[in-house]
Amino acid sequence: MSQEQKFETVIGLEVHAQLLTDSKIFAVSGATSGKTPNSLTDSVTLGLPGCLPVLNRRVVDFAIKLGLATNCSIQKMSTFSRKHYFYPDLPKGYQISQYDLPLCKDGFVEYRLNGELKRVNLTRIHLEEDAGKNIHGESDGISYVDLNRAGVPLVEIVSEPDMRRPEEAGAYLKQLKQILRYTEVCDANMEDGSLRCDANVSVRPIGQTELGVKVEIKNLNSFKFVERAIQHEVERQIAVIESGGTILQETRLFDEQKGTTRSMRSKEEAADYKYFPDPDLPPLIVDSEWIGKIKDSLPELPNEIYNRFINYYKLDAYTVEILTLESFIARFFEQAVAAHNNPQAVSNWITSELFGRLNKEGLSIMDSPVSPENLASLVRMIDEELISGKIAKTVFDEMFESGSSPESVVEKKGLKQLSDPDILDKVISQILEKNPKQLEEYRSGKDKMFGFFVGQVMKETEGRANPVMVNDILKAKLA
Ligand code: ADP
Ligand code: MG
């Protein structure tokens, strides 16, 4: 039995997501990124004394939307607290966050892993403000502070310790990203930091009911690193315990280069932050009408669309997984199928040819030169045997280049399938005449010469001859 089989891993994630509002959570400055340092500031963001925060209503809309999409119960009353610590990127000396009374509680997220449906329970989703950024100048040895990000609205999504393997954490996080993007509350880009994840990890001997001491890992900025860091941390903890040591409750940093974690600080307790209710902000009161309005505006969610595609279009799980990855892919697919009802063929064209070309050009499907309607027409022309599957690829390439409809490409390039029996008959007769030696070989029992003749017909017609008809006519002539 390997060491890992004697222990069970327990994982809980704390995920921060930046909300896509125009302005900050308590101030008027813009909440967009990529601007000149310190250009998105104002008296509240700078923490000037006597300047009061005012809660941004859109932030609450977005957080409720996310809470509903993750099956949370929305709290009619929630409050804001001050979490105190000193850091140059936090001018007020405290971060405004929701502490004892968060906006959303007791939700869950369902995700699939290797065909199995799994669930992670959510403890809470609360609102808070982001801090600024310290920039340490490499060349001049000076540290700078950029407060553009200070006061950008965040939700923190806290899970129960429900995951048991690193892959489960990765799959849950991907599902969360999908929900954030479908609901359009966050663009959920780990590389840009609009989605950030801290992983809490512990191990315990199999059979033990109480949880082991947990370690929190910070600085995970890709899905791959989340899984890798957890895996490494599990191995480290087991090695410590096996050699007679104990696990310290601490915060560790993931080192991307080495693939290991190292101690950053011993875990601070809530008391260290001296939380207290923020006297500048009254309790947030949300009534049923407000919640109801947002509920009505919820889009079809990833799992709902997934199930609908499986049941209604009868596509395989893998294909549906790809088609529902983003809402706009699902929309493209449905627009195409509405124009020509062949879900299987349409999905094949999207996931192979179209994605192949889009990836190559670095384009999103939203910028696809081939419209859903034109892709549908292409599939219809194949289904109606106006063009062969092979010619269709040439037509598709031209559609992608020019944005034209398949009809006009076929027309312009004369690519229509040749299904006129008289013309085919003539072409085949000529080919048999021109190749007496091969005809002789065929007649003396060399069956594979049949393929040679088919090939010659295709060459002569530039691939446009209807293959079934060519077969039939050739067979009749050679009989
Ligand atoms: P803290 O008080 O240290 O913030 P919480 O109880 O609030 O701890 O939990 C923070 C996160 O850690 C949650 O996502 C929770 O699921 C997870 N967690 C709590 N205990 C454990 C444990 N023993 N092992 C792994 N994760 C845990
Ligand atoms: Mg906590």
Atom of ligand 1 nearest to the CA of 216: 12
**Same domain, yes or no: 105 and 85:** yes
CA dist., res. 167 & res. 181, Å (int): 21
pTM check: above 0.85: yes
- For residue 403, report the distance from its CA to the centre of ligand 1, in Å: 52
CA 63 / ligand 2 centre spacing (Å): 19
Domain encompassing residue 463? 421-478
Tens-digit pLDDT string for the chain (479 aa): 465 589 999 999 999 999 999 999 999 999 987 789 999 999 999 999 999 999 999 999 999 999 999 999 999 999 999 999 999 999 999 999 999 999 999 999 999 999 899 999 999 999 999 999 999 888 888 999 999 999 999 999 999 999 999 999 999 999 999 999 999 999 999 998 999 999 999 999 999 999 999 999 997 989 999 999 999 999 999 999 999 999 999 999 998 888 888 888 776 676 788 899 999 999 999 999 999 999 999 999 999 999 999 999 999 999 999 999 999 999 999 999 999 999 999 999 999 999 999 999 999 999 999 999 999 999 999 998 888 888 899 999 999 999 999 999 888 877 777 788 888 888 899 899 999 998 899 888 888 889 899 888 888 887 788 888 888 899 888 88
151 with 241, same domain?
Answer: yes
Distance, CA of 333 to CA of 228 (rounded, Å): 34
Measured in angstroms, how far is the CA atom of residue 109 from the centroid of ligand 2? Answer: 19
Question: Of 413, 434, 468, which residue is a domain's last?
Answer: 413
- Same domain for 269 and 196, yes or no, is yes
Query: Nearest ligand to the C-alpha of residue 8?
Result: 1
Same domain, yes or no, for 61 and 202?
Answer: yes
Specify whether 289 is located in the same domain as 359: no
Same domain, 256 and 367: no
Q: What is the CATH number of the domain that holds 437?
A: 1.10.10.410
Question: Domain tally for the chain?
Answer: 3
- Looking at all shown ligands, the one closest to residue 266's CA atom is 1
Judge if 386 and 443 occupy the same domain: no
| Ligand 1 pocket, CB under 6 A | 10-14, 158-161, 200-202, 211-212, 214
Query: In terms of domains, do 347 and 455 share one?
Result: no
**Same domain for 337 and 442?**
no
- Among 270, 293, 316, the domain-final residue is 293
Residues 243 and 221 occupy one common structural domain: yes
